[in-house]
Amino acid sequence: MAVFKIHPHPIAVHFSNGLIPVSVFFLMVFGVTRIPDMEIVAFYTLLTGTLGSMLAVGTGLFDWKKNYRGAWVPVFKKKLTAGILAIVIGMIACIIRFLNPELLYSITPLSIIYLALNLFILGCVSIAGYLGGRLVFQ
């Protein structure tokens, strides 16, 4: 039972959701420098952040049940929706990039969609983080 005294949700959230802005940052660095390794780092950071988000949502559900008795109020609906969207869209973006490793070496409709998905994921984790901060610091 000691593992739950370390608050697994904030740990999981800060790790995984912190990687999403880093991924977008490396996409921007690649866009400016065209250094291939920057795009590769962006992809693996997105993949790690997406996989970690599954743990963040899972621990969030545990904390929600434990600390808020599963109250189905708007803030939790929004947080869960944002978290699930981040995971699903993150998986889609990772699959697109995995199947098209040269995706960002030219401007195509698919490369624009991929970049838009990354920005959408960033928005999702930002919203979930903002709402989580409001819960903690009210």
In a domain, 50, yes or no: yes
The tokens describing 59, both together, are 């621990």
Q: Which residue in 24, 79, 89, 74 sits closest to 57, CA to CA?
A: 79
The tokens describing 10, both together, are 């904030």
In a domain, 4, yes or no: no
Alpha carbons 68 and 107: distance in angstroms, whole number: 47
Digits of tens for pLDDT over the chain (138 positions)? Answer: 455 577 889 889 999 999 999 999 999 999 999 999 999 999 999 999 999 999 999 999 999 998 889 999 999 999 999 999 999 999 999 999 999 999 999 999 999 999 999 999 999 999 999 999 998 888
The predicted structure's pLDDT at residue 3: 53
- The domain in which residue 43 lies consists of 9-136
Alpha carbons 104 and 88: distance in angstroms, whole number: 21
In a domain, 1, yes or no: no
In a domain, 3, yes or no: no
In a domain, 110, yes or no: yes
In a domain, 72, yes or no: yes
In a domain, 127, yes or no: yes
The predicted structure's pLDDT at residue 1: 47
Mark out the alpha helices in the chain (DSSP H runs): 8-33, 36-68, 74-99, 109-136
Q: Are residues 109 and 117 in contact, defined by beta-carbon separation less than 8 angstroms?
A: no
Alpha carbons 98 and 31: distance in angstroms, whole number: 18
Mark out the alpha helices in 69-108 (DSSP H runs): 74-99
Q: Which 8-state DSSP code applies to residue 4?
A: G
- The structural domain count of the chain equals 1
In a domain, 86, yes or no: yes
Q: pTM for the whole thing?
A: 0.92
